Amino acid sequence: MFKLSGYNFKFCILFQIIFVLFFSISAFAAGEQKRVQKHDWTFAGIFGHYDDAQLQRGFQVYREVCSSCHSMNYVYYRNLAEEGGPGFTVEEVKVIASEDMIIDGPDDYGEMFERPGKPSDTFVSPYANQNEARASNGGAYPPDFSVLAKARSTLRGFPWWFVDLFTGYQEQGVDYIYALLNGYSEPPDDFILQSGMHYNEYYPGNQIAMGQPLYEESVEYADGTAASVEQMAEDVSAFMMWAAEPKLEIRKQMGFKVAIFLFVLAGLLYYSKKKIWARIEH
C-alpha cells in the first residue's frame, strides 16, 4: 500500500470515495416522492432576468386564485412598480392597491376602520390570523407566499448538490412549486388517502390538504395568453420567485460589474507580483 506514489494514492482514495457515495445515494434516494424536473426559467443562470409579462400574469393568478387562502405579508403594493419587478406603472399600482380594503386604525375615537389600500400597504391578507386560516382550511395552514419559493427545495442527491455550487442553479424551490401545481392526479388503487386530503405525486408523503387550485381557464389573462394549467402554474411560480427574491435582477447585474472589476484587479496584481518577485530567485 505504501508503494503507491503520493499522487496515485490520492486519486485512488478520492475515486473510491466518490464511487461509493454515488452508489449509496442512488440506492437510498429511491423514495416514493417523484423527482422534480428542472424547468426553464428566464431568471435562471447568470444572465437571468424576470419576464415582466409573465410576472403580471402570475400576479393575476395569485390575485384571482391563490390570494383567497394565501397571504403575502412581506410584499408591498409599491413593489409591483419597482425596478426588476412586474413592471406596473405607479398609476396602475395605485389602482390595484385601492381595489383591496385595508383595516386601519384606531382612529381618533378608538375605532378600527376600513379604507382602500395604498401603494405603501402590504398585500392584504385573506385571514385575520393563523387560527382563522386554519379554521377555514380544515386545520391546515396555507403558508405565506412571500418567501415560499426560497423555502422549498427538491432532493438533488450526489453529485448534483456539488455541481449546483458552480452552475448557480438556485431554482429548486420554484421548480418544486411548478411541479406541485401540475402534480395532482388520481391516487393509485392501493393508496389510502385520508379524508379531506388530495393526492399529489410531488408532495412529501403524497397527501396534501390543498385541493387542486388551478384548472383550465381558471383566469382569463388580460394579455390574451391561453390559460392552461401549465401556463398558470408557470406564471404564478415565477411571480412567487420574484416575491421571494425581488432584488434578483439588480443582484445579478451588479455581480457582473463586480466580477469584471475583480478579474481586472486580479490581472494587475498578478503582473505586479511577477514583476516584484523577478527581483529575487524563487
Residues that bind another protein (CB under 8 A): 2, 4, 6, 9-10, 13-14, 17, 21, 24, 28, 46, 73-74, 76, 79, 143, 146-148, 150-153, 164-165, 168, 170, 172-173, 204, 244, 246-247, 251-252, 254-256, 258-259, 262-263, 265-266, 269-270, 272-273, 276-277, 280-282
State in angstroms the smallest separation of the CB of 76 from another protein. Answer: 8
Rounded to whole angstroms, the Cα distance separating 205 from 187 reads: 12
Long-range contacts of 159-164 (CB under 8 A, 24+ apart): 159/18, 159/22
Handedness of CA 142, 233, 40, 198 (dihedral sign): positive
State in angstroms the smallest separation of the CB of 228 from another protein. Answer: 28
Closer residue to another protein (CB): 191 or 256: 256
State in angstroms the smallest separation of the CB of 272 from another protein. Answer: 5
Closer residue to another protein (CB): 14 or 95: 14
Q: Can you tell me whether residue 119 is helix, strand or coil?
A: coil
Closer residue to another protein (CB): 113 or 270: 270
Q: Which residue has the cell 410531488?
A: 202
Rounded to whole angstroms, the Cα distance separating 48 from 9 reads: 42
State in angstroms the smallest separation of the CB of 87 from another protein. Answer: 18
What are residue 184's DSSP bridge partners?
200
Rounded to whole angstroms, the Cα distance separating 176 from 170 reads: 12
The answer to whether 54 and 238 are in contact (CB under 8 A) is yes
Closer residue to another protein (CB): 28 or 109: 28
State in angstroms the smallest separation of the CB of 226 from another protein. Answer: 33
Rounded to whole angstroms, the Cα distance separating 28 from 162 reads: 18
State in angstroms the smallest separation of the CB of 242 from another protein. Answer: 12
Closer residue to another protein (CB): 113 or 261: 261
Q: Compute the C-alpha angle 103/104/109, nearest 5°.
A: 120
Q: Tell me how long the chain is.
A: 282
Closer residue to another protein (CB): 53 or 69: 69
One-character DSSP codes across 177-230 = HHHHHT-B-PPPTT--PPTT-EEBTTSTTSEESSPP---TTSS--TT-----HH
Closer residue to another protein (CB): 189 or 282: 282
State in angstroms the smallest separation of the CB of 102 from another protein. Answer: 18
